[in-house]
Structure 1
Amino acid sequence: MPTTTGHTTAIPASRTIGTSVYNTAGDKIGKVEDVMLDKTDNSILYAVVGFGGFLGMGEKYHPVPWSTLDYSKDKDGYVVPFTKDQLEKAPAHSIEELTKNDGHAARDAAYSYYKVQPYWL
């Protein structure tokens, strides 16, 4: 069954990793580095979007609510409804920090920062 934008509702996580992510202005801001899963309630905590680095140096990892990523066939990537300024000021973590406390601290900070309705409430 397709989503409201015509995409399939099921997608392998492996297919999302490495996919480019663009902001609302159409600028490439990074790529999906990983997808954090919550094994206890079968949900996606968030997408891990990496940006800001060069050749793997200085890259920041941002937890981004999964529901905010909308796939664009034209871009062959995801578009998020955030400005460059919002993304630059967003919570950023190391990979180790993203998994602390089962990832819930990073998830909660991301949903709060982006003002996205939490799926777990």
Structure 2
Amino acid sequence: MVIDTMTKPHNLIASDRVEGTAVRRPNGDKIGHIERLMIDKLSGKVSYAILSFGGFLGMGTSLLPLPWARLTYNRAFEAYQLDIADEELKRAPSFGADKDFDWGDRSQEEALHRYYDVPPYWGGF
């Protein structure tokens, strides 16, 4: 039996469909969009969403690694929801489009999780 997944609702989504999806506040105001996902190679779980935030026409844009647990999907907005003020986002750990976050530095990841007040995906503090 062939199941047509395009017509039946389900909770799974392809990563290329997440990239570019808007990130909005609970009131619907747009914050930015998901640039890419970071997936843990061993568990296969999404660990971070990289939020493209600020700037104009790609200039001055910050890329913020957000712990995946900090986002929720809002069906009404067809967007991921993040309840955080612009001032907090401006102070958040980030990197520019011309350089990458050091994913090999666990202390940077720990600081990131402390900033967003969510436990790390690998467990404990």
The corresponding residue for 1:88 is: 90
Distance 1:94 1:103 in 2: 17
* Paired residues of 2:70 and 2:116 also in contact (CA < 8 A): no
The corresponding residue for 1:19 is: 21
C-alpha displacement of 1:66:
0.7
**Which is richer in helix?**
1
C-alpha displacement of 1:32:
0.1
SS at structure 2 position matched to 1:97 = coil
Q: Partner amino acid for 2:56?
A: F
Spell out, residue by residue over 1:15-73, the C-alpha distance to the aligned partner (whole angstroms, 9 max, x if none).
10000001244321100000012213323220000011111111000000111211112
The corresponding residue for 1:38 is: 40
Q: Which runs of 5+ in 1 are unaligned?
A: 1-6
Larger radius of gyration between Structure 1 and Structure 2: 2
* Paired residues of 1:33 and 1:50 also in contact (CA < 8 A): yes
The share of aligned pairs that are identical, in percent, is 36
The corresponding residue for 1:61 is: 63
SS at structure 1 position matched to 2:50 = strand
C-alpha displacement of 1:104:
4.3
C-alpha displacement of 1:107:
3.3
1:73-84 paired onto structure 2 within 5 Å: 73-84=75-86
In 2 relative to 1, CA 94–34 (structure 1 residues): closer, same or farther, beyond 3 Å? same
> Pairwise CA RMSD of aligned residues?
2.2
* Paired residues of 1:50 and 1:61 also in contact (CA < 8 A): yes
